[in-house]
Amino acid sequence: MAGDSAFAEPTETVERTLIELCPDLVAVCREGMLAFINRAGANLLGAPGPTALESPPFLALIDAPDRAAAAELLARGDGICVIRLLRLDGIPVSVNLRAARLSDGAVALHARDLTDQSEAAAVLRDLRLAEQVFETSLEGIMVLDAGLLVTAVNPAASEITGYAADDMLGTTPPFLDETTMGAESYRQLWNTAAETGRWQGEVWSVRKDEQPFAARFGVSAVMGIDGRPAQYVVTFSDITRSKTDEDRIRRQATYDQLTNLPNRSLFLDRLGQAVHLAERSRQMVGLMFIDLDGFKLVNDTLGHHVGDMLLQETGRRLLLCVRAGDTVARLGGDEFTVLMPNLGNYQNAPRVAQRILDSLRKPFDLSGKEAFVSCSIGITVFPDDADSADTMLKNADAAMYRAKEMGKANYQFFTSDMNDAVAERLTIKNGLSKALERNELMLWFQPKLDLASGTVTGVEALLRWQAAELGMVSPAKFIPVMEETGLIGQVGEWVLNAACRQYRDWAREGLGHLRVAVNLSVRQLRQPGFVAMVEGMIADAGIPADAIELEITESMIMNDTEHAVATLKQLSAMGVKLAMDDFGTGYSSLSYLKRFPVDSIKIDGSFIRDIATDTDDHEIIRTIITMGHSLRRRIVAEGVETREQAVILKRLGCDEIQGYLLSPPVPASQIKATLGRPLPFPSP
C-alpha cells in the first residue's frame, strides 16, 4: 500500500523546489523557445531573474559557432554536447549541455557551468586537440548522423575521394553506398555498427573522377541516451597501392610473365580442383600437353626476342581455340597445357586439338619476320586414363612424345604402354648429362662412294651412345632429348673435335683421302666465335681444312640467311668443305643454293627409296642432279640400299652415294676392312 512505502511521489511543488535548488541551469524549450529557466540558469546567463529573459529563442542564447550543434541536439531531443552560452553582457560561458525529450514534446535542458573548473579546461583542451586531429589527420574522417547523412568531413577525406566537403555534406557518402559495396554488404555494415558499435573492412570504391581506389574503413557508432546510434564516425585510409602490390605479387606467383597465362603452379592447382570436382560429379576432365615443333629453330635463328613474341602469339591463339571455362597455361619454354573441366563427350577433346593444330599451322608475323611452327599434342582423359592429377599430367606428356614420334604436327591419345617410354626417356635425360664425363659417347662412320672412280672418298661421322644403364641407345631416341636439354651445343663441339683427331689418326695410317663429314646444329652455327673454334680444332689436330666437311640443312638457314651466309663464307674461305644435307625436304630453293657457298648437295633418302618404281621420285632426282651440276655442286645420294638404286643414280649422273648398300655405320676400327670389300655392283 502507498502508506507503507518509504518514499512518497513528489508533488509539483517539490519538483519545482528541487529544480530551483539545483546549482546548474535547468530549462524547458518548446518549439525552440525558452519556456522555463530556473534561477541558477538565469544567474549563469547574467539575468537578474528568470522573468528578465522574456522567453527568447533558445538558440539566441548560444554562441554563433555552436548554434548548429545546439540545434541538432534540440531536434533530436536527447544527447549531450559541450557548447558556449552567451551571457546578457556578451561573455561566453562553456557548459556541458544535456537534453531529454518530455512527454508533451518539449525538451528539457540541463547545463553545467564548465568555466573556472578543471573539467572545463580538460574538455576544451580535448576539443581543441580533437579539432586539430580532425583537420590534420592523413586518414579520411566523416561524421554521419543517425540517418547516415554527412555532417562533418575533414580535408583528407576530400583528398582521398576527390569529393569536396560541399559535395558530401548533407548526403550519404557517394563512395560508400550500395552501388560500390552491394546491397547486402552495405546493409550488413550498418547493422553491425548499430548492434556492436563498430565495423571494419576493406572496400573497392570509385573516386569522383571515376578512378577506382581501395580503402580500409572503420565505423564507430556514437550512442545516444536511449542506447541507439545518434552519430557515426567513419575513418578510412587509401590502401590502393598496397592492394595493387599484393595483386601484382600474387599474379607474379601464379601467372607466366611473358604470356600472362597461368603458370605451372596455378595450372596444377586448377587441375587438382577439376579432378576433385569430377570425382564428386562423375564427370570427365580433358588435358592436353602441347609442345611446339620448330620453336628452337626460330629461337636460334631469329633470336630470343622473336621467340618470345612467338610464344606470346601462341598463347593468344590457344585462348581462341578453347571454351570460356577452360584453362590455357604455359608450363615453361615452349610447353603449354589446356585443361578442359566438364569435358562432356570424349570426342570434344580431338575437336579442340584439331582447332589448335590448324591455328598454330598458320604463319606467324613477328615484327616483320615470318616464322612457321606446328605443334605436337598429347591428350589424356580423367577418369578413363588416370585416377589423379599427377598421373594425368604424366600421361599427357607421354602422349605428346608419341605425337612427336609419329611425325609431329598431330595429336595422340594416351595409351597404357606409354608408361615404359616415359620411364625410358627420363633415364635417357638423366644419363645424357653424365655421358661426356663417363666417355660413353663415340663416333661411328659411314663411307661415301665416288661413282665415277669407284673408290671411297669420305665418311660421315655419326654419334653413338653406349650408356651404362641402357646399353647402345638409338640416336633417334637420345638426340631429340639432347636438343631439348641444350646439350647439343656441348656435344656438337666434342663431335667436331673428335672428327678432327680421327682424320689425323687415319692420315697417319695412309687413309688421308677420307674426308670426314660432321653434322652441324643450329646452336653451333649461331654460337659466337664458332669459326675461330673450328679453325683452332683443325690447327690443334694438324690437319688440312678441307679434311673436314660440315653438313647443314635448309631449315637451319632459311630464317637467318644473313648471319648464316657470313658464317659459311668464313668457313669456306678457310678451306672447310660445306654440304647441304636432306635436300628436297625443305624449301629446295635455287636461290638458297646460289647464296650459300656449299660444295655438295645431299639428296634425302626418302626420294631414293622408290626411285626404281616411282616415276615422280625419278624425275625429282634427275632435276636435282641437273640443277646442282649447273651450279657446279657435287651431288650425293643418301639412303642407297639396293644395287638397282645405285645403277640408276649412276646413270642419272649422281656423283656419290652413301647407304647400307655400301656399308652401315661402323666404328673407326672397322673402316679399313670396309674399304677392302668388293663393290656391291660392277665398277665403271
How far apart CA 236 and CA 219 sit, in angstroms, is 9
Predicted local distance difference test score (pLDDT) of residue 5: 40
Instruction: Report yes or no on 428 lying in a domain.
Output: no
* pLDDT tier, 4 (very low <50, low <70, confident <90, very high otherwise): very low
**What are the backbone dihedrals phi and psi of residue 578, each rounded to the nearest 5 degrees, phi first?**
-130, 140
Q: What is the DSSP string of 198-258?
A: EEEEEEEEE-TTS-EEEEEEEEEEEE-TTSSEEEEEEEEEE-HHHHHHHHHHHHHHHB-TT
| Residue where a domain terminates, one of 416, 446, 469 | 416
Q: Is residue 285 part of a domain?
A: yes
H or E element: which one contains 315?
Answer: helix 304-321
Q: Does residue 84 register a pLDDT over 80? A: yes
Q: What is the pLDDT of residue 11?
A: 55
Same domain, 618 and 493: yes
For residue 250, being part of any structural domain is answered with no
pTM of this prediction?
A: 0.50
Question: Which of 293, 304, 498 shows the shortest CA–CA distance to 378?
Answer: 293
Same domain, 234 and 262: no
Yes or no: say if 322 and 340 are a contact pair by the CB < 8 Å rule.
yes
**159 and 93 fall within a common domain:** no
Average pLDDT of the residues in 375-379: 94
Between these two residues, 10 and 416, which has the higher pLDDT value?
Answer: 416
- Name the pLDDT band for 562 (thresholds 50, 70, 90): confident
* Mean of the per-residue pLDDT values of the chain: 86
Classify burial at 222, counting beta carbons within 10 Å of its beta carbon; exposed 0-12, middle 13-18, buried 19 or more: middle
Looking at the structure, do residues 65 and 96 belong to the same domain, yes or no? yes
- pLDDT of 59 over the 70 cut: yes
If one counts the domains in the chain, the total is 4
pLDDT 10s digits, 162-171: 999 999 999 9
Q: What range defines the domain where residue 312 resides?
A: 255-416
514 is a domain residue: yes
Residue 124: is its pLDDT beyond 60? no
Q: Which residue is it, cell 600421361?
A: 395
Query: Is residue 504, in this structure, part of any structural domain at all?
Result: yes
pLDDT at residue 93 is higher than 70: yes
Same domain, 331 and 228: no
Q: What is the CATH number of the domain that holds 547?
A: 3.20.20.450
**Between these two residues, 83 and 595, which has the higher pLDDT value?**
83
Q: Per residue in 239-279, pLDDT tens?
A: 888 887 777 777 777 899 899 999 998 999 999 999 998 88
Domain boundary among 416, 449, 479: 416
Residue 117's pLDDT band (cuts 50, 70, 90):
low
Q: Are 572 and 550 in contact (CB under 8 A)?
A: no
Residue 425 lies in a domain: no
Return the percentage of the chain with pLDDT > 70, whole number: 90
Q: Measuring CA to CA, which residue among 143, 96, 85 is closest to residue 122? A: 96
Statement: residue 547 has pLDDT above 60 = yes
Residue 446 lies in a domain: yes
Name the band, by pLDDT with cuts 50, 70 and 90, for residue 384: confident
Q: What is the mean pLDDT of residues 35-50?
A: 87
Does 249 reside within a domain? Answer: no
Alpha carbon distances (Å) from 121 to 61, 97, 114, 135, 291: 22, 16, 8, 21, 79
CA neighbor of 223 nearest in space, from 313, 146, 321: 146
Q: Which three cell numbers stand for residue 508?
A: 697417319
Q: Are residues 263 and 218 in the same domain?
A: no
252 touches 226 (CB < 8 A):
no
Q: pLDDT tens across 449-482, in order?
A: 999 988 999 999 999 999 888 889 988 888 888 8
CATH number at residue 52: 3.30.450.20
pLDDT value of position 179: 82
Asked whether residue 513 falls in the same domain as residue 577, the answer is yes
Among residues of the chain, what percentage have pLDDT more than 90? 39
Neighbours of 403 (CB within 10 A): 24
Q: By the 8 A CB rule, do 339 and 285 touch?
A: yes
Burial 492-504 (b: 16+ CB within 10 A, else e): bbbbbbbbbbbbb
- Which pLDDT belongs to residue 291? 95
